[in-house]
Structure 1
């Protein structure tokens, strides 16, 4: 059994298409198909459902993909560990984030890159919370930043970074009269643009509205926090955004941002990595940065403060 064969199987599971899997592995489709056939012969089980087109993996194939991901992750961790012993950390750190937390990721990547100049960082900032955990578990990313409010299975370790809280974002001429807070009831009566219902950030808002006996009807939904700001910019909509995004954008000219109260709600956000040992040396290094960086204090300050 060759590691390259396992890479082909993982790529096929991810791409769900022979040609795309072959391109992602920089080989021809016949070469990938032949390598998988040889892997099936060696393991003496069918791995791929074959028809006129790709029809998925067999139950045996799905199980072996899990092992393949573990083996390849251990291979990568070994190479990173050896490289770190010789020349310091190098390679590529992959971080996944839910959209509402993507502004916080920069508070980790900046000190990480300063401490480890040979490492490059890739940030995927449009993942749902379930996708973050799945990709960490499947070794598709090294770490994730997501919600911690429901606890985590034992296969993960986490570092709490900050408490997400919410502000009502409106056109400066609209919204409640000027005061230090606004209520969720007042927000529910405004023409709202919110995150889509599939996003956990939206689910938190829906829970707060439901607890207050409110049923807002957003006219526009999106999976992008930046798009929420863009819609409020038009003057036709209001939105509810995490306070951390005020650190990114400030309060744009012509808008108002008012903390929401009655009730006041916060949700813990944190860094999540796999609990396996020895695990990824890059993930361990990022965890050390997270433990020594006061992300919450930074995000509470707006640019210019």
Structure 2
């Protein structure tokens, strides 16, 4: 079975469109279609239902899918392991990070690339659930996510830091001269927060519930860039991880106030898929994370 044909199959599963899958593989659509046909002949099973376009996988295609992903991951792992015998770990490390942890992508990326100069780094913003799925499907090599709340399964983890909160507000008005804010004040504010599909929001709601407080934001979003923009433009406030306060310490238009009450901190860490043997990429990431932590 040719690895190239399996890559065509996986590209088609991801894109669900023959032309886009061909573009992703750098081949023409007839070449990709012929490759899928060849793979089906080799296996003696029809893998894809199509009628001039992709419709779905057959039951046989669904059964093949996890093994195809493992096959490609194993092939890439073998290539990386062979390169590592000459003292260099090369290739691209694909990192997924939850939005709350994106400020830490810089330190972990710098530590990884400094220790492995032949590596390249690709960073994607993903939810915690997307990170678990992408690791299981070999779409990423590692992730930065929460370790305790809805803990990811089948991973090896290295704690990196604990997350605390700050209130982000526009400078001026009632906030001038204030150094802290009480959690009891939060429900009275015009809040913009991440939506509840984001784990940071679910954790925040749980932490506030411990203080008998429920938050009802007027605006929800899926990125901190949007939340910062809302606070800058209007009479809104938001709650951000301390990592963003450290990333933007000198915003003239903003104030970032710590909470007066103790709010339980959440651990954030690097996770890689728990499999033996570990790929050189995963091993390099764990080593870099341990050096940082």
Please say if 1:199 is aligned against 2:201. Answer: no
For the structure 1 residues 243 and 269, does the alpha-carbon distance in structure 2 shift closer, same or farther, using more than 3 Å as the test? same
For the structure 1 residues 92 and 186, does the alpha-carbon distance in structure 2 shift closer, same or farther, using more than 3 Å as the test? same
1:244-255 matches, within 5 Å, as 244-255=243-254
Q: Deviations over 1:73-131 (max 9, x none)?
A: 1111111111122251211111011111011111111122112111111111x211111
Aligned-partner Cα distance in 2 for 1:209–1:12: 44
Aligned to 1:281: 280
Q: Is the 8 A contact 1:251 1:257 kept in 2?
A: no
1:83-122 matches, within 5 Å, as 83-122=83-122
For the structure 1 residues 136 and 174, does the alpha-carbon distance in structure 2 shift closer, same or farther, using more than 3 Å as the test? farther
Number of positions where the alignment pairs a residue of Structure 1 with one of Structure 2: 292
1:195-234 matches, within 5 Å, as 195-234=194-233
Q: Quote how far apart the aligned CAs of 1:178 are.
A: 4.5
Query: Aligned-pair RMSD on alpha carbons?
Result: 1.8
Aligned-partner Cα distance in 1 for 2:231–2:12: 42
Task: Judge which range, 38-47 or 195-204, deviates more.
Answer: 38-47
Q: Where in structure 2 are there 5+ consecutive unaligned residues?
A: none
Aligned to 1:69: 69
Aligned to 2:129: 130
SS of 1:86's equivalent in the other structure is: coil
Task: Judge which range, 93-102 or 176-185, deviates more.
Answer: 176-185
For the structure 1 residues 56 and 260, does the alpha-carbon distance in structure 2 shift closer, same or farther, using more than 3 Å as the test? farther
Q: Is the 8 A contact 2:166 2:245 kept in 1?
A: no
Q: Where in structure 1 are there 5+ consecutive unaligned residues?
A: 295-305
Normalised to the residue count of structure 2, the TM-score between the two structures is 0.93
Aligned-partner Cα distance in 1 for 2:188–2:133: 37
Aligned to 1:151: 151
Aligned to 1:8: 8
Q: Is the 8 A contact 1:184 1:263 kept in 2?
A: no
Aligned-partner Cα distance in 2 for 1:24–1:89: 25
Aligned to 1:303: none
Aligned to 1:43: 43
SS of 1:269's equivalent in the other structure is: strand
SS of 2:257's equivalent in the other structure is: strand
SS of 2:252's equivalent in the other structure is: coil
Q: Is the 8 A contact 2:132 2:152 kept in 1?
A: no
Aligned-partner Cα distance in 2 for 1:131–1:171: 33
Aligned to 1:169: 168
Q: Is the 8 A contact 1:170 1:237 kept in 2?
A: yes
Aligned-partner Cα distance in 1 for 2:174–2:219: 18
Aligned-partner Cα distance in 2 for 1:230–1:115: 36
Aligned to 1:298: none
SS of 2:251's equivalent in the other structure is: coil
Q: Is the 8 A contact 1:175 1:190 kept in 2?
A: no
Q: Is the 8 A contact 1:104 1:244 kept in 2?
A: yes
